[in-house]
Structure 1
Amino acid sequence: MCKKEKPDDFITTACAIDLGSNSALILIGREANGQIEVVYEDMRTTRLGEGVSETGKISIKAINRAIDTISTFKEAIKEHSVTEIHCIGTSALRCAENRKQVIDEIEKKTGIGVEVIDEEEEARLSFISATHSLNIEGRCIVLDVGSYSSQLSWGAGTEIEGTLSLPIGCLILRETFTDEEAGYDTYAIESAIKGGIEDSGMKERADTLVLVGGSAVAGASLLLGLSEYSRRIIHGISVGLDEMEDMAVSLALMSEDAIRQRMAFEPERADIIVPGLIVITRFMRVLDYNIARVSWWGLTYGMLVEIL
């Protein structure tokens, strides 16, 4: 994904779509005075990765949910006269045995092709997104917790130095690190994270830890008591390890219906918010950070930085 040479008077309105394992996100923007001007954004829950870890395949129902969502996104694409469209797929599509069938069906029904990116590219785009949107100058680690994997990326300023992907996410956590009587095995989670970090060669501590992804944004919204998502309030906010852990414990004691009512901003995430917060807090403990900043923007913003 790279910038293309265009005439001086040509204005690119670009669209970035992230077809993730839990949600699909769209971001439409254009370059304005060296900055990205966002003109449209939306997020829909598709659960594309639902059941992939058990069956190895993306279900017909999940494929249809993705097609319906992208078809809805196309209305915004037309309304904003988009000149360039990029759509990426991540963990669920990487793992699915029927990946080609899914991609072909989506393109056939919507006219939009999907590029499945690898873990390194996913981490790189998260790093670009966080460091550009938050104007980070010092050393930084970016943690993007997804449904089936989590990506770490690190570097100085906007220059990335390394990436790491671990098969630890909010959906897979329920299937791999859970004991029926004791709940989530946090020791096993931390051990898996430590092992991955040691093997990656990441040694130097960074000035800032940035959290990216739906679990981080939802967690920050819960801590603030928001009834609806607010980019203005959430983007760049600092959250503490202790308060995130307390929130996870509090929610774990509640019924799913009660959590759904509390999460009016995204009730569809009610069944995965607790494992999502557990993954975030285990990473924070292993990396030894008591405070982290939250980025509203994820992969789609990084894509627009690359395109524009």
Structure 2
Amino acid sequence: MDDEARPKGGLDPSRTRGPRRSPWGRRHAFGQESHGHQSGGHHNGNAVSDRSTPTYAALDLGTNNCRLLVARPTSDSFRVIDAFSRIIRLGEGISSTGRISEAAIDRAVGALTVCRDKIVTRGVTRARLIATEACRSAENGDAFVQRVRDAVGIDLEIIDRKTEARLAATGCTPLVDPAASSVVLFDIGGGSSEIVNMGSVNGQAGPPKPIIRDWASLPVGVVTLAEKHGGIEVSRDVFERMIQEVEGYLAPFAEKNAELKNSTSLHLLGTSGTVTTVAGIHLGLRRYDRRQVDGCWMTSGQIDTALEQLLAMRYEDRVANACIGAERADLVLAGCAILEAIRRAFPSERLRVADRGLREGMLVEMMRDDEVWWRKNA
């Protein structure tokens, strides 16, 4: 897929058509019934849409981040035409209170309002808007979704862990080495971490499809682990305790997939801010650059070196590092502990880094469902 882009200007108003059935199914993403009746949703009178090419949006409201991609299909993939990402820490404090806080709700509403406006302005014809672990685990998760519907005018879908694992696999499948006998994909999130034993299959229109042999969702992420053990001052003893906690959650999956440890061509495939940060440290980037990070390979020794560099940094050093920053400086070592637990369970000489995941998976599934690549190649 092409790198994220932000073209200037709007779409051609001469290409706009009248109302049609909502592409979001029973309910429109902005609170409209499928027959077109307005029910309190947001309306932007300046929004225009180029109906000659379908435009898709994928929104991932996670425990730590709110992310959006808007894209249009190409001959065999898609091109991103707009994007948004903001750290909102929706899951902050849930591990102790069991609830999404008012401050986190306010941050989420602000970010989702930006996303809504982008979706409207870009004339999106089909969208999927999901929420993950924070909304799954919080006792007020459903109330939060209703509040977002009332305040912003969008309907969030709280997905289950199996769906989250499948979407991550779908989004990352283009980075699977076809020569590998086995691949362990992992997605280190804010409140949960998904791990998948997978392969891929090609020979069809569009991106390759994942073959999911097994999967698990670990009830631990960077936010929950850092809140429990601390994330500002992390000694090596604390880091090891983090790893051991994750190993306990990971053990059933590792035992069930023990044959992977003996695979000579196994490679790891990691998608998360943790993994992209480790790659940025390894590459010595003065400023994060997705073009250099997404798809890059790291050896086991290179990962060890990058982890040592991160452990040696003071909190102030992590804040000052352009690949980490103030918003993630207290979370990155918790993510590194999850990464290290996975590496110990599934030793591999190679890790491929993915700056992609759930959003890309949603885009691929929607486009495949609409058969856009079959039509383009017919």
Report the alpha carbon displacement of residue 58 of structure 1 after superposing the two structures with TM: 0.4
Instruction: Look up the equivalent residue of 1:172 and give its one-letter code.
Output: T
Does the aligned pair in 1 maintain the 2:188–2:335 contact within 8 Å?
yes
2:342 paired residue among 268, 283, 286:
283
- Give, in whole Å, the separation in 1 of the partners of 2:311 and 2:134: 26
Residue 91 (structure 2) aligns with: 49
* 1:177–1:188 Cα contact (<8 Å) kept: no
Given that residues 58 and 128 in structure 2 are in contact (C-alpha distance below 8 angstroms), is that contact kept between their aligned partners in structure 1?
Answer: yes
Structure-2 residue corresponding to 1:220: 279
Task: Give the Cα separation in 2 of the matches to 1:135 and 1:285.
Answer: 21
Does residue 140 (structure 1) correspond to residue 183 (structure 2)? The answer is: yes
Aligned residue number for residue 252 of structure 1: 311
- Mapped partners of 2:127, 2:218: distance in 1: 29
Spell out the pairing of 1:1-308 with structure 2 (5 A cutoff).
Answer: 11-132=53-174, 134=175, 136-137=177-178, 138=180, 139-157=182-200, 158-176=210-228, 182-184=237-239, 185=241, 188-189=244-245, 191-198=247-254, 200-201=256-257, 203-204=259-260, 205=263, 207-263=266-322, 266-308=325-367
Q: What amino acid does structure 2 have at the position aligned with 1:192? A: G
Residue by residue over 1:53-78, the C-alpha shift from the partner in whole angstroms, topping out at 9 and shown as x without a partner, is 00000001101101100111223223
**Superimposed CA distance per residue, residues 172-195 of structure 1 (whole angstroms, 9 cap, x where no aligned partner):** 223446798931215623631552
CA–CA separation in structure 1 for the residues paired with 2:310 and 2:259: 34
Distance 2:258 2:163 in 1: 18
Classify 1:294/1:214 alpha carbon distance in 2 versus 1 (closer, same or farther; 3 Å).
Answer: same
Alignment check: 8 A CA contact 1:12 1:31 kept = yes
What is the TM-score of this pair, normalised by structure 1? 0.89
Which protein shows a greater Rg?
A: 2
Task: Kindly report the root-mean-square deviation, in angstroms, between the aligned alpha carbons of the 2 structures.
Answer: 2.5
| Number of the residue aligned with 2:18 | none
The Cα of 1:118 is off from its aligned counterpart by 1.1
Q: 1:207 to 1:248 in 2, by over 3 A?
A: closer
Amino acid at match of 1:182: D
Q: 1:25 to 1:248 in 2, by over 3 A?
A: same
Q: Which whole-Å CA distance do the structure 2 matches of 1:265 and 1:172 have between them? A: 18
1:253, 1:135 → 2: CA distance?
32
Indicate if the aligned counterparts of 2:220 and 2:246 stay in contact, CA closer than 8 A. Answer: no
- CA separation in 1, counterparts of 2:235 and 2:289? 36
TM-aligned CA distance change 1:3 to 1:210, over 3 Å:
farther
TM-score by length of structure 2 reads 0.73
The C-alpha deviation readout for 1:92-125, integer Å capped at 9, x for no partner, is: 1111000111101111111111111111111111
1:196/1:262 CA distance change after superposition, 3 Å: same
Distance in 2, matches of 1:247 and 1:26, equals 29
Larger mean CA deviation between 90-99 and 182-191 belongs to 182-191
Q: 1:264 to 1:280 in 2, by over 3 A?
A: closer
Q: Please list every run of 5 or more consecutive structure 2 residues that lacks an aligned counterpart in the other structure.
A: 1-22, 26-50, 201-209, 368-378
SS at match of 2:259: coil
With 197-206 and 123-132 compared, the bigger mean Cα shift is at 197-206
Q: Once the 2 structures are TM-superposed, how far is the Cα of residue 264 of structure 1 from its aligned partner? A: 5.4
